[in-house]
Amino acid sequence: MNKSTIAAKMLTLLASGGTIERAIAELPMFRTQIESALDWMRKSGRCSDAEISERALRLRELIRRKDAAMKRLDVELAATMRAEECAVFESFGLRCPSGVWHSVLRADVDEQTRELSALFYDTKAA
The string of DSSP letters for 9-62 reads HHHHHHHTT--HHHHHHH-GGGHHHHHHHHHHHHHHHT--HHHHHHHHHHHHHH
Query: How many domains would you assign to the chain?
Result: 1
pTM: 0.84
User: What is the pLDDT, as a whole number, of residue 119?
Assistant: 84
Express each pLDDT in 42-97 by its tens digit: 999 999 999 999 999 999 999 999 999 999 999 999 999 999 999 999 999 998 88
CA distances from 80 to 67, 74, 83, 114 (A): 12, 10, 5, 31
The C-alpha atoms of residue 88 and residue 100 are separated, in whole angstroms, by 12
Specify the 3-state DSSP secondary structure of 72: coil
- The pLDDT of residue 124 is 67
Domain hosting residue 76, numbered range: 3-125
C-alpha span between 18 and 116 (Å, rounded): 12
Percent of the chain whose predicted confidence (pLDDT) is above 70: 94
Confidence of residue 1 (pLDDT cuts 50, 70, 90): low
